[in-house]
Amino acid sequence: MSFPKNFLWGGATAANQVEGAWNEGGRGPAKTDVTTGGSYKEPRYVTYIDKDGKPGKINQFAELPEGARYAVLDGYYYPNHKAVDQYHHYKEDIALFAEMGFKVYRMSVSWSRLYPKGIEKQPNKEGVEHYRKVFEELRKYNIEPLVTIWHFDTPLYLEQEYGGWNSRELIDLYVRFAATCFTEFKGLVHYWLTFNEINNTCAFIPMMKDMLGLDDEAVKERFQTAYQQLHYQFVASAKAVQIGHAIDPTNKIGCMLSTSCNYPGTPDPQDILDNEHAWENSTYYCGDVQVFGYYSPFVKRLWKKYDVHLDMNDEDMETLQNGTVDMYTFSYYSSSVVTRHSDGEKMGGNFAAGARNPYLQYSDWGWSLDPTGLEYFLEKIYDRYRIPLMVVENGLGAYDKVEADGSIHDQYRIDYYRPHIEAMSKAIDNGVDLIGYTTWGCIDVVSAGTGEMRKRYGFIYVDMDDEGKGSMKRSRKDSFYWYKKVIASNGEDLK
Ligand code: BG6
């Protein structure tokens, strides 16, 4: 096995999916707090009061009706309010991570815990203190925190009053939040990611087209909005990178993308070309700006195709150039197929769509299981960027059964991880500079896509169900002991 000596083995979560305590410690609400639970078949909804005072709900990807205000309504369950209550259980959780031998724990800071509305001049002290304690606890066990600054949780006030990332003003507000993190947690945190899965904004429009039944005009509008929001996020990220380096030159700051490992469905040259273009829209669009510091030439085609006109200026371009990232990190769960040759049964679940691949198995949530795709992605991406890579999300969402004696035999999870770890090892042998691996949902979390608890990823089981019932008790699954062995042997012992 080829893992380097200091390889960062660990696990990952996000504040809104684990913390809970949504209205404690001075925290303000985020959009996830007005988002209901859903399922594989039923979407998550965002709830609101319309301009006439009537309650309503919309698909989480749809636009809020004019004049409506986000609202928590009676009669709905909002799973992120409690999540798995890591806010109060962090010591216990970190002790369990340490028992597995984690070298790194990827987590995020909730923006609205530090800046409840997002517009305050000074951060919420209680929020700062909370995270300081969490980082100190990690350090006690020599676990390196890897901190995502933004993980899908813009303060609700900014969503409502500023239209979220449609507004250029978000850049400075985000930069203030990021600078607070770099300053307050200097010396405690050295690894940072500016935006989680930044490319979701544009990558999932083709999927939303089907889900929301958008016509061509609506798709164009979506792209206009997405590329504009992305531009502001790129500038915000690049400014944060510069500030993070100025505050502590030892900081390593990365981009984070959701991977879309697409394959052409047939050797038809049109499929090959469409597939390449799908990589451009879904993956290279963002990665190139954040790693190279400028937009790649192919964006001309996309902007023309969708009639996109962006608010951007020379100063922005200089910022992008001076704020390139130190590492490229990404989530990898599955792959998809691009083809014009079948109407292709679509994949389901979270945000992934595409034709079905006959050579692969699928999870209960319709995600393809494709470890070879991970090797392919690592090699392809390293070849393009030549900077250190880290897999910061990978895992299997599955139903777990608790036996009468409390044990949980999740062999299927071990069977998922083993070939993915072998794939990373092969990529390293092939010259890829891979520095770490954080499995997604190392402790069970609320699913981002469906809002379920029953879609479990963890090595650690949390007694909490989809109606918010449960003791929050933590217990070790079989995979817990397995991953511990993997880490102890630096990836040698995968039995
Ligand atoms: C990624 C996100 O999209 O995938 C996580 O960064 C998310 O927040 C993960 O939880 C898995 O998706 P899901 O829908 O199964 O929770």
**How far is ligand 1, taken at its centre, from the CA of residue 237, in Å?**
21
Is 449 touching ligand 1 by the criterion CB < 6 Å? yes
Q: Are 427 and 380 in contact (CB under 8 A)?
A: no
* Residue owning the nearest CA to atom 2 of ligand 1: 448
* Residue owning the nearest CA to atom 9 of ligand 1: 448
**How far is ligand 1, taken at its centre, from the CA of residue 451, in Å?**
10
Is 397 touching ligand 1 by the criterion CB < 6 Å? yes
Candidate list 144, 197, 375, 452, residue with the active-site label = 197
Is 68 touching ligand 1 by the criterion CB < 6 Å? no
**How far is ligand 1, taken at its centre, from the CA of residue 312, in Å?**
31
| Chain segment 176-208, per-residue pLDDT in tens | 999 999 999 999 999 999 999 999 999 888 878
Candidate list 393, 422, 452, 467, residue with the active-site label = 393
CA–CA distance, 147 with 77 (Å, rounded to integer): 28
Q: Detail the DSSP E strand segments found in 206-319.
A: 252-258, 261-264
Q: Which atom of ligand 1 is nearest to the CA of 365?
A: 15
Query: In Å, what is the CA distance from 190 to each residue of 13, 80, 147, 444?
Result: 17, 28, 9, 26
**Helices 285-292 and 371-385, axial angle in degrees (round to 10):** 40
pLDDT band at 1 (very low <50, low <70, confident <90, very high): low
Q: Which atom of ligand 1 is nearest to the CA of 152?
A: 8
Strands 69-70 and 55-59: unpaired
| Chain segment 59-87, per-residue pLDDT in tens | 998 889 999 999 999 999 999 999 999 99
* Residue owning the nearest CA to atom 8 of ligand 1: 448
| Chain segment 445-473, per-residue pLDDT in tens | 999 999 999 999 999 999 999 999 999 99
- Average the pLDDT over 306-331 and give the result: 98
User: Is residue 351's pLDDT more than 50?
Assistant: no
Query: In Å, what is the CA distance from 45 to each residue of 184, 352, 355, 385?
Result: 35, 18, 26, 38
Cα 370 vs. chain centroid, distance in angstroms? 19
Residue 341: per-residue pLDDT: 86
Residues in the chain: 495
**How far is ligand 1, taken at its centre, from the CA of residue 28, in Å?**
22
**How far is ligand 1, taken at its centre, from the CA of residue 13, in Å?**
9
Phi and psi at residue 68, to the nearest 5°: -80, 155
SS3 196: coil
User: Which residue out of 40, 440, 452 has the highest number of ligand 1 atoms within 8 Å of its CB and is therefore the one to mutate?
Assistant: 440
Q: Which atom of ligand 1 is nearest to the CA of 449?
A: 14
CA–CA distance, 129 with 123 (Å, rounded to integer): 10
* Residue owning the nearest CA to atom 5 of ligand 1: 448
Residue 349: per-residue pLDDT: 41
**How far is ligand 1, taken at its centre, from the CA of residue 440, in Å?**
8
Residue 355: per-residue pLDDT: 81
User: Is residue 344's pLDDT more than 80?
Assistant: no
Average pLDDT score over the chain: 95
Residue 253: half-sphere exposure toward Cβ, Cα within 13 Å = 28
- Average the pLDDT over 378-391 and give the result: 98
**How far is ligand 1, taken at its centre, from the CA of residue 449, in Å?**
6
Q: Any catalytic annotation for residue 197?
A: yes
Q: Any catalytic annotation for residue 393?
A: yes
User: Is residue 353's pLDDT more than 80?
Assistant: no
Percent of the chain beyond pLDDT 70?
A: 97
User: Which residue out of 16, 447, 450 has the highest number of ligand 1 atoms within 8 Å of its CB and is therefore the one to mutate?
Assistant: 447
> Comparing 14-18, 316-320, 339-343, 433-437, which segment has the lowest mean pLDDT?
339-343
CA–CA distance, 311 with 301 (Å, rounded to integer): 18
Q: How buried is 269 (Cβ within 10 angstroms: 0-12 exposed, 13-18 middle, 19+ buried)?
A: exposed
* Residue owning the nearest CA to atom 14 of ligand 1: 449
CA–CA distance, 388 with 381 (Å, rounded to integer): 10
| Neighbouring C-beta atoms of residue 401, cutoff 10 Å | 8
Q: Which atom of ligand 1 is nearest to the CA of 200?
A: 3
Residue 193: per-residue pLDDT: 99
Taking the CA atoms of the chain, what radius of gyration do you get in angstroms?
21
Q: Which atom of ligand 1 is nearest to the CA of 457?
A: 15
Is 440 touching ligand 1 by the criterion CB < 6 Å? yes
CA–CA distance, 322 with 99 (Å, rounded to integer): 40
Is 331 touching ligand 1 by the criterion CB < 6 Å? yes
pTM of the complete model: 0.96
pLDDT band at 287 (very low <50, low <70, confident <90, very high): very high
SS3 11: strand
Residue 5 makes CB contacts below 8 A (sequence gap 6+) with 490
**How far is ligand 1, taken at its centre, from the CA of residue 450, in Å?**
9
**How far is ligand 1, taken at its centre, from the CA of residue 151, in Å?**
10
Tokens found for residue 122? 């000074």
Query: In Å, what is the CA distance from 297 to each residue of 221, 233, 250, 392?
Result: 22, 20, 32, 28
User: Is residue 345's pLDDT more than 90?
Assistant: no
User: Which residue out of 41, 207, 331 has the highest number of ligand 1 atoms within 8 Å of its CB and is therefore the one to mutate?
Assistant: 331
More confident residue, 338 or 92: 92
